[in-house]
A and B are shown apart, each in its own frame.
Chain A
């Protein structure tokens, strides 16, 4: 510490002195790098600030208790009850379908596939799936579920589209966690004569569980904010539809989309409050995921 300060006091005197040009370059880059980080904070803070300020106006009980049924864009009042119900139902259905498939796929990739060809193909497929634009997932469900099988728009169709977006994230997160489980645990179980499936279920999975739960919660949070696929699959309704399996259903993202397109100030206020509610739920999920991850780190780290 002291040597550094003396060097600064007498520039050019010590062996490690740096020429002015090099020092200026170094400082310039340092300033640019700090600036880059600052630049990233500007939109984040601006988004959060505008959403909180604009969303607070309609953040009242009516918003959570009423739907938009028989409320026109010009009217004050109205709420997002139908949308919140819809989003929660869709996300639960999505998780119920996506999590088992994704976790089992991750187990296959880590525990069973080894170096085999099928494992490589599936791993590649998961990469492909990660890059699928969300609107394409919506188009696929539209082409398959609605146009080919002839079903109507429904919350379930939306959940199917979200499933496609959720699977790859959960597979990758679970894979990472399963890989962290030390091999000694598996070998110890095998040595005790425990069959493979019980080893995976009772030894490997519990060890990786917290990390996987974190990954699943982050995936849920990500999927919850998706709008594009829902536009094509759940369509729009202003009324409360508690049955996710029949008829168009509301959802928070499509609620925001619909209200924001209406030029009336009352609608735009509702859109902002919808955004605030959505962000609150997503941030809560993110924080909870952090909390779970921080409480118990998986073994072997």
Chain B
């Protein structure tokens, strides 16, 4: 199916359409059928129109602010769109977004895959779905609650961890810096990691469920231990699925707003020392600056939201492409 050329696929679609058209003509003649089919089709097109409109309106409303901008939108670190001479750029926001969500992905992926392995292969069969539900509960907790928890509870405990990491790994520039704090990009990344655990683990579990039982049984029959079975038949089969899952988690982390906005303390400028207080992300900046934003300020925020939209779109599409490729080979 998928290997067919576009021409053939197009021809097939046309034939299919003709079939449906004749079928519709045969069965209908009744108004009800036409109305219902029209409503279903119309809803589908509405969904399409919404997504197109999102892109179009963000671009349209961002342009005036971008024209007023006195600085380079892509490379400037400061965010001052409300001044008489508005100067704003996304460099710091892009850095914070990418850094915090990449870290979150790196923290969450191994744990999430461990959870998926535990539920699929280690836990008692009868408990499996219940345990899956427990992990899904993590996804049910709203992000504002994670933010509150991160601010009041986690950040206190992160101070010690940050100090420790700074002491032991301080020679790595990323973990360096003089004053490790509790409202750092690292703390935000930990909160994000917790929030994206469920999506990564549930997609990985789905992939593991599709591993052919014969592969599993074959390796066990050859005397493999459980780990050897997983390493030789489950992980190779599920590799692209797991990569796709963690990329979907990355996309989710990039768009996360409130939890990050609550945990991070805004300090201007890019800071490579991720253990020090400071940093901001696209989404957190929008939530924090919206109250005081002027007309240009709102336009600037919309422009930064547009960039976020495009980045998450690319990441999500790439993730879905990776997951879909696995299906082809399956």
Show the binding face of A for B, using Cβ within 8 Å: 16, 18, 22-23, 25-26, 29-30, 32-37, 39-41, 43-44, 46-47, 50-51, 54, 100-102, 104-105, 107-109, 111-119, 121-122, 125-137, 139-140, 142-144, 147-148, 164, 167, 171, 190, 195-198, 200-201, 221-222, 224-228, 231-232, 253, 256-257, 260, 268, 271-272, 275, 278-279, 282-283, 286, 290
Whether the pair A197, B37 counts as a contact (CB closer than 8 A) is yes
8 pairs of A and B residues whose beta carbons are closest in the complex: A225-B142, A133-B255, A36-B114, A197-B36, A131-B316, A104-B43, A108-B40, A228-B257
Q: Which residue of A lies closest to B50 (CB)?
A: A164
Contact, CB under 8 Å: B17 / A116:
yes
User: CA–CA, A67 to B1, complex, Å?
Assistant: 60
* Complex CA–CA separation, A116 to B312 (angstroms): 27
Query: Which chain A residues lie closer than 8 Å to B153 at the CB level?
Result: 46, 50
Q: Give the distance in Å from the alpha carbon of A97 to the alpha carbon of B320 in the complex.
A: 28
B residues 99-117 with Cβ under 8 Å of A? Answer: 110-115, 117
For A112, the chain B residues whose CB sits under 8 A away are 20, 37, 40-41
- Prevailing SS type, chain B contact patch: helix
Given A30-B227, A144-B53, answer yes or no on A114-B47 (Cβ-Cβ < 8 Å): no
**Are A253 and B144 touching (Cβ within 8 A)?**
yes
Q: Are B32 and A122 in contact (CB under 8 A)?
A: no
Residues of B within 8 A of A (CB): 12-13, 16-17, 20, 24, 27-28, 30, 32-33, 35-37, 39-48, 50-51, 53-54, 57-58, 60-61, 110-115, 117-119, 122-123, 131, 133-135, 137-138, 140-149, 151-153, 194, 197, 201, 223, 225-228, 230, 248, 251-252, 254-258, 262, 282-283, 286-287, 290, 298, 301-302, 305, 308-309, 312-313, 315-317, 320
From B27, B37, B148, B309, A256 is in contact (CB under 8 Å) with: B148
| Chain A residue with the shortest CB-CB distance to B133 | A290
Please, could you name 18 A-B residue pairs with CB atoms under 8 Å apart, sorted by A? A29-B226, A29-B230, A44-B141, A47-B146, A51-B148, A104-B43, A105-B46, A118-B44, A131-B255, A133-B255, A134-B255, A134-B257, A135-B257, A136-B309, A197-B32, A226-B142, A228-B287, A279-B142
How far apart are the CA atoms of A173 and B256 in the complex, in Å? 23
B81 to chain A, nearest CB (A): 14
Q: Are A30 and B226 in contact (CB under 8 A)?
A: yes
> Which residue of chain B is the closest to A128 with respect to CB atoms?
B51
Contact between chains at A33 and B122 (CB < 8 Å):
yes
Point out the residue from B24, B258, B308 that lies within 8 Å of A257, measured CB to CB: B258
